[in-house]
Structure 1
Amino acid sequence: MTEPTAPNRRAGRSRRAAAVLTLVEALVVLGFAGFYVYEMVTGATDDLTRAATSGALILVFGLALLALARAWTGASQWARTPTVLWNVLLLPVAWSLHESDRDPVALAVAALAVASIVAALSAPGRRDDADGTGGADGESDVVS
């Protein structure tokens, strides 16, 4: 049995990093959904319908992020685009948190989003072949 090449190990680390970061995001989002349930159960919300709708929507996003994290752990090739899109959308959220004087939370959201984008873009994509040289047909994209 041969030892994996350096690009394969690097690709595996990138996929694992993307999976872990996406899982962290999923758990945080699911925690917010749980918070809405808590508010509804304790009567802390003034508008039960709004809390239920928000909680259900956040739950859907949390479950989608769990599916995305699962896709990163397998051989799925579709996970890159939704991961990058989700995390690009988190950057304005981080900015909004910064402008409302929640700098520690803003910094955490921004750092997690940027790290996730880097991990997703570092992972091999659909056109990358197994040995990391690029090109779907096994040829290198590098011109000699």
Structure 2
Amino acid sequence: MTRIGRALDLGAAGDRTAARAALTEVWEQVGDTGDALHRCTIAHHLADLQDSVADEVAWDRRALAAVADLSDERVQRDHASLRVRALLPSLHLNLADGYRRAGDVARARDHLTIAAPLVAELPDDGYGTMIREAIARVGALLDAGSREALAAP
């Protein structure tokens, strides 16, 4: 997780290329069958560093797939208050937005439909509010037929 954090710092500093390279290197070491929390975290963040929507969706799908191998006990070793179900709203939101931008309206709606009730798993804090608002924005953009990128709140 330390190496993942360092890669995220590169991205936050504006060096998307270095962040993508660093996360890809960690992904190659973890592999498709490594620790599920690491796979989920790496894939989730690699999705945001992709240049194409298709590649972004592929990484978002890997992140969601890794959750199937996670347990609350495993995630709580890294974050004591975290539960696996609390990861799901964001993961489904990301897929909904990616599919929306790719023009796959049906899949986008499917993932929004899944994400919406799962927000009850989120805390009433800044993060929970951000995800709830993003779900609403993606829904509105989907209703408007927009394939534009989701603007930051």
What TM-score, normalized to structure 1?
A: 0.34
The structure showing larger relative contact order (alpha-carbon pairs under 8 Å, at least 6 residues apart) is 1
Tell which structure's C-alpha radius of gyration is larger.
1
